Amino acid sequence: MNNYGVYPSLKGRAVFVTGGATGIGESVVTHFCHQGSKVAFVDINVEAGEHLVDRLAREARNAPLFLPCDLVSIGTLQACIQEAQRRLGTLRVLVNNAANDDRHKLESVSVDYWDERLAVNLRHQFFAAQAVIPGMKQAGGGSIINLGSMSWRAGMGGMPAYVTAKAAIEGLTRGLARDVGKSNIRVNTVVPGWVMTDRQIRLWLDEEGERTMDRMQCLAGRVMPEDIARMVLFLASDDSRMCTAQAFVVDAGWL
């Protein structure tokens, strides 16, 4: 981590990350803490969240604040954001990371399942942004970073509700960016490729998947959680002050 960029504007800045206990979110939380940011994160996985706090308390400049939360409950999410602002100060960065890419066949999708998938993968991004924007306006600006997915751009099947939600995130980003830009609030999407999180490796990576990445990616390596986290850091920092309404793809050249 010491060989990569340090952003002075992130030191002491209050950051809120959803789904921060594992995978990409864990790396995002870790990277912000090593930048000296004041970080709060929410996750439904209490054990993993507490473990991350314990680890970062030993190795980072600032230990993060963990608030257990099921993001399907918007009221709980709003309360967590209020608590984070009470304890850390005005949130200047929001990272809407939480998602769940469970596979599902179109024939099996019920109305309830469709609504639940959009609640897990899309709805909370809007309401988290809605909750932090007033404070960002009062503070003179901020950065909202929404995590999308290259899955819908690549025309992937086997999870229609998920790809619908992820496609909608880019529309949400562009609409919000227009609404809040004059308040110096930037809104961008980070579009990950196939990221080698523990979950992806455990559930879906096999020899065929390895061959697919070798064939589809321009670069020979594998996209890791830290590759996504470093793009998030840039978009959160003042170095990206004129970047908004954009989708930044980190997929090793798949698309």
Catalytic residues: 162
Residue 55 burial (C-beta neighbours within 10 Å; 0-12, 13-18, 19+): middle
Q: Which whole-number Å values give the CA distances from 45 to 9, 204, 208, in the listed order?
A: 30, 21, 30
**Rounded to an integer, what distance in angstroms lies between the CA atom of residue 19 and that of residue 42?**
6
3-state secondary structure 48-110: HHHHHHHHHHHHCCCCCEEEECCCCCHHHHHHHHHHHHHHHCCEEEEEECCCCCCCCCHHHCC
Do 94 and 132 meet the contact criterion of CB atoms below 8 Å apart?
yes
**What is the radius of gyration, based on Cα positions, of the chain?**
17
